[in-house]
Structure 1
Amino acid sequence: MASKTQVTLPKASGEAFNQKEFPFTNLVMEGGGAKGIAYVGAMKILEEAGIMKNIKRFAGTSAGAITAAMVAVGMTSEEILKEMSEVDMMKVVIDGGGPLPGVFKKVGMAFNVVCSSGANPGNRFLDWMGGILEKYLAKHKHKDLGKDVTFSQLYQAFGHELCIVAYNVEYAQETYFHVKTTPLMKVRDAVRMSMSIPVVFQPYELLGFKYMDGGLVANYPVYCYDGWWLSMEKGDTFQDRMGDKSDAEVKKMLSPENKKERFGGPDHERMETLGMLLFSEELDREQYEYVFQDRLKKLAEEDQAFKKRRPDTEAARAYLKAQAERDKFNHDAVAGFEESLMLLQKVNDVWKGSNEDNLRDNFMKAFQPGTFKATLSGFDNEKAFDALFPKFEGQHRTNQVVESIMTNFAVLQTFKHKVIGERQIQTPLQLYGSLLDFFGKNYSPSKKDVARTVGIDVDYVGTMDFDMAPEDMNFLMEQGASATIAFLKGYTDDQ
């Protein structure tokens, strides 16, 4: 039965900050698939705080690119929510297999993967994105631009710079679509390229090049407006910066390894950018998530209204079930490694009480047949002995393998299960989401970046959870609002 809950903007307000001064003129959003709805709640707070009206440069990857394009054409949080809540996003993004039911549609999508390198062509999304751009351009008296508005036209009409990041397959590096780099590129084409999740979507082909999800190489391009690469200032043209360079110097400058040469700027310039990223303690960890969690914890302690409240939805229940199974698995795994350590200690004791002549006999007497089958890949005691105390021609047996397992392997695996835990992957969409989350960590924010980043805890919602309930959408937006308020409070307190 469909939920009767309405999708609404969060009640939390950013008006308490509208008399404060903030340096932010750039807004950059991380990719995150379905989790991107959280940005709508964050936008509401920025609007009420008086910050959005000062933003002139927008950027994003994948889901962040969608939101960035929307706000770049003047859409408000309320308008973005209206457009996203009135459609079934799963049907918008998943359009492979044709108008076929059930298993036949899946067969069609599989055929697309084999023949077109992706299950979904993304044409429905392209039409949807174009329709939204056309609608809101007309609202702002730019009917002449339409769905195929280019980066240059957007800049001329609004004075807004927009940067969309995608991965160029042929060049094997990211492309920053922007009025400076690609003035005649259609905005909706660039957004479609940026959200081309591998296998899920077919690569987008244009002018002989194939493009895929920007999250593969730059999921959080918070740096994109640092430095001179996208600067529109006089003296920062590519002619000025590269015209007198040798081919070798330009090649070095353009290589991904030397990104800092293009995107390195002074601290005061860096603080003009406000970034937003999405994280989950269980599903999508961030290096500095403890900083974001501390902000949220402090806010919730000051006002209980900001305490995270997970709704009772199918997605949330599935997450809790998986979490319980994961906790049990990790608990059992830790217990298993602790038992293995005790067993290895006994093995080591046998070593200490033996010499090379009686070591094998003492080992066989000390352990019942089959003792090591559960811990050493099904080895019987003879194979276990040879593996634990290897002997090579001209050498004596040693206990180095036993000591290494005790002090390295077993300790590392125990801590992995205690601290990190395993993430259960049971469906293809979960697999794709997990891979995208992994690739998206290729650029982790630095400690300096954290100071200009709103970290949004999306909790139980995954990258590919497009088929979410209204309560899930409301939860994400509330999380976006809370994280933004927590950031602004921390920022103003530090000034």
Structure 2
Amino acid sequence: MTFQFSEGEADNFRFYLEKRTPVHSRSNSTLNRKRRAELIAKARERKRISTAVRHFFPLLEKYDTNLDGKINNQEFQNIYDHFSEEDRQALFGDLDGSNVVFKRLDKNGNGQVTFQEIIRYIEGRGLAVNQRYLGYKRQDVTSIVSYASSIFDTMLLNLKRLHMEYDDLGRTIGINTGHIETADFDLEEEDIIFLLDQGRNTTIDFLKMYAAKENEK
């Protein structure tokens, strides 16, 4: 069977299929340049947030004065005061002052911030654990269009789960369409050539793998 996935889509088996046939070359189309710029911007933002998180956790341990594994408002004030302005901006954005940030972290409003609440906040800022390897990520719904898009992506992901299991990988040609996503219809000639090359290279790699397995029998 054949299986298509882009770099911007969630996919159950993307990590395994990409290892078999990575993207060797790319087009210089308008669409690809746009997607590359978006990926670079997102990578830089993730790096900023990741650096801030690495600076944040040692402060949590240092200023948890009663060692109960929870942070109260006064403890958080100490942490915030020793957190650089650059790291504050990266991790907390435009939230102004420790009291405002503390209230955002303290989801249940009990006057204490737990480790789980902090992790949920950090994941919401774009460092979800599963996103790097499996493509799952938090979807920001800000309009009827983004809502419909999120529903559509969820439907596609569930359909893939219904019709493909791990044992199917050995008989699946997984074509990475790179920067070209499902709803990209206005493609330039370079994009079309790229898609054809990806399909051909992926099929060749699959046949080589299949032939090697047959020879081992």
The TM-score range, normalised by the shorter chain, is 0.5 to 0.7
- Counterpart among 38, 44, 51 of residue 322 in structure 1: 38
User: Can you list the C-alpha shifts for 1:11-66, whole angstroms capped at 9, x where unaligned?
Assistant: xxxxxxxxxxxxxxxxxxxxxxxxxxxxxxxxxxxxxxxxxxxxxxxxxxxxxxxx
Instruction: Tell me, in whole angstroms, the C-alpha distance in 1 between the residues paired with 2:101 and 2:37.
Output: 40
- Counterpart among 469, 483, 489 of residue 202 in structure 2: 483
- Counterpart among 120, 137, 145 of residue 409 in structure 1: 120
* Greater relative contact order, per chain length (Cα 8 Å cut-off, separation 6+): 2
| Higher alpha-carbon Rg | 1
1:472 to 1:423, Cα distance in 2 relative to 1, 3 A: farther
- Counterpart among 54, 60, 69 of residue 338 in structure 1: 54
Instruction: Tell me, in whole angstroms, the C-alpha distance in 2 between the residues paired with 1:432 and 1:364.
Output: 39
Identify the structure with the greater helix proportion: 2
Instruction: Tell me, in whole angstroms, the C-alpha distance in 2 between the residues paired with 1:365 and 1:458.
Output: 48
Instruction: Tell me, in whole angstroms, the C-alpha distance in 1 between the residues paired with 2:114 and 2:200.
Output: 53
Which aligned pairs between 1:118-267 and structure 2 lie closer than 5 A?
none
1:351 matched to 2:66: yes
Identify the structure with the greater strand proportion: 1
1:384 to 1:309, Cα distance in 2 relative to 1, 3 A: closer
1:278 matched to 2:4: yes
Name the SS for the 1:351 alignment partner.
Answer: coil
How far has the Cα of 1:289 moved from its partner? 2.1
Tell me the residue number matched to 2:192: 473
1:451 to 1:366, Cα distance in 2 relative to 1, 3 A: closer
Tell me the residue number matched to 1:64: none
Name the SS for the 2:3 alignment partner.
Answer: strand
1:487 to 1:383, Cα distance in 2 relative to 1, 3 A: closer
How far has the Cα of 1:341 moved from its partner? 2.4
Instruction: Tell me, in whole angstroms, the C-alpha distance in 1 between the residues paired with 2:143 and 2:3.
Output: 25
Instruction: Tell me, in whole angstroms, the C-alpha distance in 2 between the residues paired with 1:366 and 1:380.
Output: 9
Structure 1 residue runs of 5 or longer lacking an equivalent are 1-274, 298-306, 354-358
1:446 matched to 2:165: yes
* Cα pair 2:12 2:157 within 8 Å, conserved: no
Which amino acid letter does the alignment assign opposite residue 475 of structure 1?
F
Instruction: Tell me, in whole angstroms, the C-alpha distance in 2 between the residues paired with 1:466 and 1:434.
Output: 19
User: Can you list the C-alpha shifts for 1:414-461, whole angstroms capped at 9, x where unaligned?
Assistant: 454982686999999888666533321103220122222110010000
Tell me the residue number matched to 1:419: 132
1:277 to 1:346, Cα distance in 2 relative to 1, 3 A: same
Matched residues, number: 195
1:415 to 1:380, Cα distance in 2 relative to 1, 3 A: closer
Structure 2 residue runs of 5 or longer lacking an equivalent are none
Which amino acid letter does the alignment assign opposite residue 120 of structure 2?
F
* Cα pair 1:347 1:363 within 8 Å, conserved: yes
Which amino acid letter does the alignment assign opposite residue 57 of structure 2?
L
1:328 to 1:311, Cα distance in 2 relative to 1, 3 A: same
Which aligned pairs between 1:375-386 and structure 2 lie closer than 5 A?
375=92, 378=96, 380-381=98-99, 384=102
Instruction: Tell me, in whole angstroms, the C-alpha distance in 1 between the residues paired with 2:30 and 2:186.
Output: 11
User: Can you list the C-alpha shifts for 1:166-200, whole angstroms capped at 9, x where unaligned?
Assistant: xxxxxxxxxxxxxxxxxxxxxxxxxxxxxxxxxxx
* Cα pair 1:430 1:464 within 8 Å, conserved: no
